[in-house]
Chains A and B, each alone.
Chain A
Amino acid sequence: MNTNVAVKDKPRKNALVMFIHKLGSPPWFYNFTGKFIPWLWMIFIVLAAWALYMGLFRAPADYLQGESVRIIYLHVPAAWMSMLIYGSMAVMAFIALVWRIRIVEILAMCSAPIGAAFTIVTLTAGSLWGRPTWGTYWVWDARLTSELVLLFLYLGVIGLYNAIDEPRKAARAACLLAIVGAVNLPIIHYSVKWWNTLHQGSSVSLLGGSSIDASILWPMLIMAFAVKFYYAANLLTRARVRLLEQDVRKGWVKDLVREQRT
């Protein structure tokens, strides 16, 4: 009898599929992500400190903007993050609505406050850069207005999620809003091309290179890379807390707390 046939016919699960299945288990997710969070924070702190040192102390002042150019090391990475987080939140919201995966639902909802924080930083830093450069803190320009709309969308998602008592129902409603709001992302990105704006056009492009000098560009790019780790660490921390809150009466949470007590 040939036993190899039976072995070949047996469906084999891909390692990645197995990993995704495991991530869907709350206790496994909680323990697995807990190991990475301190490392993510550490990488963020080291990279951000390096970027800020390079940007604030080593990079020269701009010939036109003067010292105020140093605000871009905060403003530009925060602006990119505000959009990237919304995009990832919308994708996760879509996955959560279609496949009803609770962990993805939680991750989508936990992205909103982090995205809102980055949007607030973008708007305030941009405003404080605008005063010495443009002579005004604020104009109702297409780029600034669409970024403000992004903040309202984040606040809407947070508000809607907290307004409904049943967490899964609340997440579904908020996920829907997150998906609809994604229409604002191309508006923010192309606002400087579609309308005449006071805000300057893109200075950095993935394919087209950059019009910024390397001495200013690199600290900004390092900072932009650093904040990805901030987002990952913060998101996982929030998702773990949310899991504890939702599973407060489940055995794995009680076991976990009992283990911590002993």
Chain B
Amino acid sequence: MSHLPFIWAAYTIGTVVLLWCAFAPLVRKRSTIRDIRRLIQIEESNRDTDT
């Protein structure tokens, strides 16, 4: 039995899982920053209409 497919499968799954785990917070950070920008815009436009 060739062991190569098992080695490839183990490293492929390992790489995918660890890459997903590393990039997930970056995606989340981008959407959080977008939300904060939107919040700031709303607050600034409210302040402009008040004055």
Size of the chain A interface, CB-CB below 8 angstroms: 36
Contact for B14 among A78, A234, A253, CB less than 8 A: A78
Chain B residues near A237 (CB-CB < 8 A)? 22, 25-26, 29
Interface size of B as a range: 20 to 34
CA–CA, A217 to B36, complex, Å?
Answer: 48
Contact for A121 among B17, B24, B37, CB less than 8 A: B17
Assess whether A86 is interfacial by the CB under 8 Å rule.
no
Scan residues 117-154 of chain A and give those whose CB is less than 8 A from a CB of chain B: 117, 120-121, 124-125, 128-129, 131-132
Is the beta-carbon distance between B37 and A261 smaller than 8 angstroms? yes
A94 to chain B, nearest CB (A): 24
Is the beta-carbon distance between A230 and B33 smaller than 8 angstroms? no
Chain A residues near B10 (CB-CB < 8 A)? 71, 74-75, 124-125, 128-129
Interface residues of B (CB under 8 A from A): 1, 3-4, 6-7, 9-11, 13-14, 17-18, 20-22, 24-26, 28-29, 32-33, 35-37, 39-40
Interface residues of A (CB under 8 A from B): 66-68, 70-71, 74-75, 78, 113-114, 117, 120-121, 124-125, 128-129, 131-132, 230, 233-234, 237-238, 240-241, 244-245, 248-249, 253-254, 257-258, 260-261
